[in-house]
Chains A and B, each alone.
Chain A
Amino acid sequence: MHLVDIRTSIFLTTTIRSFIFYDSKTVKQVDVPSFSGTFGILPKHVPTLAVLKPGVVTVFENDGSNQKIFVSSGTISINDDASVQVLAEEACPVDHIDLPAARDILNKAQSEFASATTEQAKAEAAIAIEVGEALVKASE
């Protein structure tokens, strides 16, 4: 497959320490998890907007290597000039995730969900579980 002229810029930052993983860099393909399903972005993808789901963003670079980055939540926008922005609230490379710590987060979230009394606390715990599950899945 011949892939040229794709401007895929990816910006990911975290709340405390911000990271920019990609800034106006040209890459081959990006796979992103969204609430409407995980999808791959190739050059000349139809412009769209989507909301990030906890999961792994995979970036296939021009030299054939790929990088996996875990993201918690955020947005994806694909514009008609083939530029892509992935903005995440929390992000880190997948190999930086500590599996036992991820399991801890999941367990804690599950117990919080069980003990939650209000609707809001329940919803918050449900989100934490979702992130925890995605973390464990990503690091396994």
Chain B
Amino acid sequence: MNKVVKNATEAISGIADGMTLMVGGFGLSGIPENSITALVESGVKDLTCISNNAGVDDFGLGLLLQKRQIRKMISSYVGENVEFERQLLAGELEVDLIPQGTLAERCRAGGAGIPAFFVPAGYGTEVAEGKEVREYNGKPHLLELALTADFAIVKAWKGDTHGNLIYRHTANNFNQAMATAGKITIAEVEELVQAGELDPNQIHTPGIFVQRIFQGKDYEKRIERLTER
């Protein structure tokens, strides 16, 4: 039951050109920094990345965009990245923009074995194009499909050797849903402990969803918009 791998390089082994990855985080908060660095170093390309955001030019998924390793982004908001906008306008990058709650639920459904569901978000907008509409409780809803990934890569605060995870503050965000939806889920953590050391009452992601876990290092935890009183 020991799921511990040595480092990010070992954790991402098997990620190949053309694969679909889920990458946790909101903005730069709760992103798997070590794994992203290892992906950049590996040179893997033509990736489809499902991630709420696309990082900034020189951090987060922006690093993979700089190296042209991403072919398609599935996101809700990508506004902080100049290189992203350039590639998009130049037709070098494919982008699927999805309402944030629908994106989260599509990941959750993917992990929960629910192939599709109806939500009201996006009805009457360009998001609705090509989607089945059904009325429930007098309101139109769109049929949305579940998302899964070849690999889901998440970042947690604490984790144990069984893969149980605890997130910190708002760094949970998309990590919890995405952790359930990878064929292989990789977790990098700030603090890795032996099974039994975490309080079972406090676990956010039960270890069943996690296949590989490693102790991360040198976390920058960059703040995107430092705002003080």
Q: Do A and B bind each other?
A: no
A-binding residues in B (CB < 8 A): none
